[in-house]
Structure 1
């Protein structure tokens, strides 16, 4: 059978015409989509980049009304509401997203996480806890566990906090043994003596290098009238946590005096002071030094090693001046000047306090207070 070239001659123009029509249809569809694309969305982005949040919110609301199926617009709008503190509106946006049946699994988890953040920022801890619990097994589980931990610490629900810390430890989110020890110490503070001792010993096993369980246990033993046991507990604590000696020095001195172990305590504190001079350790040594003149001289020796207004004030308080009638005035001025230097300062947020805290009252960070005072930092 002969091949008819006329079909080829007719087919080429027809194919060209069909291709041209198809391209025109694609261009028309593109123009229609461009016209339908919410211009308000781009206006909202422009306002957002210029930090004009009020105008950005209005533009995004307009965009959502024109295209209610766009999930990204809902997320953007919800986040803007949350940043502005309009938590009720943020909650409504994210709850609307969760009510949609066409939402993908990943987007549903994202909306659930956003809703939990809304409740958390609004201070609705019960609802935030419920929302965060629903994120178990999702990509947001790690963030949800950290948020739950913060909630339980804030509400001082230490058993729940301990449970979450165990999960975070198991998931490789970090080492939470130090926090576990603090949780046990917090529970011990409100428990009967026998139960408190058990909890504190568990805390010592959970975090051997943490000084708090030993300090709290020694205080419990002192209250029970066993000063010798308290002294032994603090002696072991000094060996296990040398950086915490300034915090341990005062309770160790008290336990030594009560148990008649002054000589042993003095030798131990002098050894640690030689290795790392500290005002609190120096004060403990002075309290244990039987020779008053030798004790006063310790402040001068400290000044030879490190300039310290606090040590100078302590030394001057025990000295007689040529014009003794002015001594109280001079001493009062010095005491006022050194007060800020004897505070403790949080290494995380800079919050200063007269006493040492295991958890910062300002930023809620654990173990953020160094054992040394401001003057020694």
Structure 2
């Protein structure tokens, strides 16, 4: 026991000495690295700490120009220029990087990818596409294809978009929604050129890619309606009930017109009321009200909106009840009711908008492709339905 105590007395100073020596080595290493940094680096850092971003950038640009070893700094500056919208400076920075012979393969690919993004931001899509295609067999292949897909969507180059999305398909993302939408876009382009058979082929491919593609069903119904094949149009639109019943709202006026044109108006009205009963959020109450008003009169329309309000109370429903009540109310009540309706219109204005479930962008027009976040099928066909809070 006594011997072990003596051993510790000897070992402790040795361990202390080794630790002191290691610390000295680390400090020397840090000091040598600090001395190797150009003095201007700290000047630029001081500008950043003082919030003088523009002056700091100029200092670091000068460092990058005179110190060849600052590759990572050049990457950072190029990225910063692009974010600030200084695209010409970003392009110049990344082009100079690519001219350097000492770049590793990974650095060269990274510089190409950054330069391609600069070109895309600048609207130079041909140059961006060429660089991204060169990266198809590199470590940046997936990122390059993702950028290409976004670019093809902007250019409305839907065939290229389909090919690229198919290359991106994997277990994490099937891209079936996007590819089906691209086929629908091609179908609409064909329809504008009066190439109906071509449009039908594209819509068939859309449904083959994604069986639940509501847009393809809607377009096929519109084509049949335009050709006065009302039975076929009705069949196409009614098929939506088993896919996405709320999407029926996007075709309901034409659906009722098809029933009327084929002499089945009462059947159409019965269908409309049944759908509202089964799907209370179906966004066609205004249409049902108008239809009952024209076919069965004011009293029937008024009773309809009152019953619907009891079963499915909403602010837009209350507004419609008051609008209907205005038509049957005594003259002395109408002035007050008109004020209440006007106030309700202001309160419920947001509930007359479509909301993107991805980014929250709101619009009066229904979009398949959100103009704000560029995601597909993010607008539920129910006005006022906002993204659920997490």
**TM-score > 0.5 by shorter chain:** yes
What are the Cα deviations for residues 124-154 of structure 1, in whole angstroms up to 9, with x where unaligned? 2222222222221222222221211111111
Equivalent in the alignment of 2:140: 140
Aligned-residue CA RMSD (Å) = 3.2
Matched, 1:55 2:55: yes
Deviations 1:207-252 (A, max 9, x none): 1112111111101111011011000111112112234233343332
CA contact (8 A) 1:345 1:374 kept: yes
Change over 3 Å in CA distance of 1:287–1:65 after alignment to 2: closer
* Local SS of the residue matching 1:253: helix
Q: Distance in 2 between matches of 1:108 and 1:96?
A: 11
Deviation, structure 1 residue 187: 1.2
Q: Which residue of 2 aligns with 1:305?
A: 311
Q: Which moved more, 1:301-310 or 1:219-228?
A: 301-310
Residue 250 of structure 2 corresponds to which residue in structure 1? 247
Q: 1:100-111 to 2 correspondence within 5 Å?
A: 100-111=100-111
Summarize deviations over 1:71-119 as a string: whole Å, max 9, x none.
1122122222222222212211211111122211111111111111211
Report how many aligned residue pairs link the two structures: 353
Is it true that 1:187 corresponds to 2:195 in the alignment?
Answer: no
Residue 79 (structure 1) aligns with: 79
Matched, 1:353 2:382: no
Corresponding residue of 2:5? none
| Equivalent residue runs for 1:330-349 within 5 Å | 330=339, 333=342, 336-337=345-346, 338-349=348-359
Deviates more, 1:236-245 or 1:28-37: 28-37
Shift of 1:268: 4.3
- Equivalent residue, structure 1, for 2:206: 203
59 and 150 in structure 1: CA distance in 2 versus 1, 3 angstrom threshold: same
C-alpha deviation, 1:45, in angstroms: 4.6
SS across alignment from 1:374: coil
Question: Any gaps of 5 or more consecutive residues in structure 2?
Answer: 1-25
Give the deviation of 1:316 after TM superposition: 3.7
In structure 1, C-alpha distance between the alignment counterparts of 2:379 and 2:28, rounded to whole Å: 67
How many angstroms apart in 2 are the aligned matches of 1:260 and 1:48?
Answer: 75
In the other structure, the counterpart of 1:6 is: none
Which residue of 365, 370, 373 corresponds with 2:383? 373
For the residues of structure 1 that align with 2:359 and 2:65, how far apart are their CA atoms?
Answer: 43
**What's the TM-score, normalizing by structure 2?**
0.79
With over 3 angstroms needed to count, the CA separation of the structure-2 counterparts of 1:375 and 1:304, relative to structure 1, is farther
- Residue of structure 2 in register with 1:222 after alignment: 225
Distance 2:343 2:261 in 1: 32
Unaligned runs of 5+ in 1: 1-25
